[in-house]
Amino acid sequence: MCCLVNDQNRIKLQSASSEHEAYINASPLELPFAKRNYILTQGPLPNTTGDFWQMIYEQNVSICIMLSKVMEKSFVKCHSYFPHKDSPKSKFDRFECLLEHEEIRPNYIIRRICLKPLDSFKQNKKTATNNFVTPSNSPTKSVGSDESGGGCEGGENIGTSNLLDNSEDKSRIIHHFQFTTWPDFGVPEDTDQFLEFLEEVRRTREMLLTTSTQNQKEIISLEAEGSSQSNNPPIVCHCSAGIGRTGTFVIVDSVLSMIEMNRINKQNLLNLENNNGATNNSQILTLNKEEVAKHQQKQNLNSLESLVVFIRKHRMGLIQTPQQLRFCWKTIVG
């Protein structure tokens, strides 16, 4: 299944000579009220893997979340776009990826990858003026760049670099998290398994932000409304089409963050089951674009249902089944 990207809300590759070459199936999603910033995308294809890594590099991404396997039930769900133990060094178009660490756990795999731009990328790179199409564009600080100017041998070096001025083309450390037991159109068998995976992602995110703050010798405040990319670098998240499993991850992660910030009352979510709420109302999964916009105007972002409608305004189809919506609720309320 392929998700068509909203032309008014999409990532554009910077180093492109034409609008066609600037296209990638990826949607930015900023949720300042949840202190979250995502790039939601389909799994890379053989002919888009180079574009995928270019997007990660240009958007200063340090965390990439993969919610599918490469092969599922004899079907290819995603191209093998990352290095692994059997092939620790891989070249993808104008980028080179080196596997520095891989840890295999029962339900997920954690990788640390060194992403290095090749000379062909440096020669073709242009000064960016608009890195994604959305009402508010803002520069991004790089979390995870290599300040030494060499490879990634320095380990977890965290530096800052304006998205619009990556003139030195540093190598970057990318933290890659792959959940391996989540069936397409389905849900994980156990909420605890997913929460363990999510906690690993969150721990790494906080570590990167904390280290970045220390190295910059400045305070990054994520509590302020309207927190921009500059203090909240995006996390890339994908499955196969970048809608079902991806949307489920986004809802759980962002709602848990909002609960921690006291912006959603957990008791209201607990009462949904007895009030014919979002977990029983699959109609929101069939709203078209116009209905989403109409529904959006009536909602405050203080419920699971309204948040699903909100994120679907940015990338249609996020969360594909009532089962996935119910899994969100079960995982959040515990």
98 and 116 Cβ atoms separated by less than 8 Å: yes
d(Cα 51, Cα 290) in Å, to the nearest integer? 31
The per-residue pLDDT for 131 is: 56
- 301: how many CB neighbours lie within 10 A of its CB? 18
Catalytic residue among 3, 64, 78, 239: 239
Give the Cα separation of 38 and 158 in Å (integer). 20
CB atoms within 10 A of CB 251: 24
How far is residue 180's CA from residue 194's CA, in Å, rounded to a whole number? 10
What pTM, to 2 d.p., does this model score? 0.80
DSSP, residue by residue, 66-81: E-S-SEETTEE-S---
Alpha-carbon gap, residue 250 to 171, rounded angstroms: 28
Residue 152 designated active-site? no
Triad 205, 208, 214: Cα angle to 5°: 140
Query: Tell me, what's the pLDDT at 231?
Result: 66
Q: Which residues pair with 40 in a beta bridge?
A: 27, 237
Q: Please name each of the domains of the chain with its CATH number.
A: 10-242+254-260 (3.90.190.10)
> Which helix (H) or strand (E) segment is 258 a member of?
helix 244-260
112: left (phi over 0), alpha (psi -120 to 50) or beta: beta
Q: What's the pLDDT at 226? A: 43
Q: What is the pLDDT of residue 285?
A: 58
Decide: 108 and 199 in contact? Cβ < 8 Å: no
- Which helix (H) or strand (E) element contains residue 304? helix 304-314
Both structure tokens of 87: 């092939």
Residuewise pLDDT in 10s, the chain (334 residues): 567 788 889 999 987 666 677 899 999 999 998 999 999 999 999 999 999 999 999 999 999 999 999 999 989 999 999 999 989 999 999 999 999 999 999 999 999 999 999 987 877 764 444 455 554 443 333 344 444 445 675 444 333 333 333 445 689 999 999 999 999 889 999 999 999 999 999 999 999 998 876 665 444 444 444 444 556 889 999 999 999 999 999 999 999 999 999 888 777 776 655 444 444 455 555 555 555 455 445 555 567 888 898 999 899 899 999 999 999 999 998 8
pLDDT value for 334: 83
CA distance 132 to 260: 30
**Do 289 and 5 contact (CB within 8 A), yes or no?**
no
Strand 63-66 and strand 172-179: the pairing is parallel
Point out which residues pair with 176 in neighbouring strands: 64, 111
Q: Which three-class secondary structure state does DSSP give residue 153?
A: coil
Q: Which amino acid is at 181?
A: T
Res 211: pLDDT: 82
Helices and strands of the chain, counted as H and E runs: 8, 12
Tell me if 40 sits within 8 A of 237, measured CB to CB: yes
pLDDT for 249 equals: 98
pLDDT value at residue 144: 43
Give the residue from 9, 40, 10, 39 showing the smallest Cα distance to 22: 10
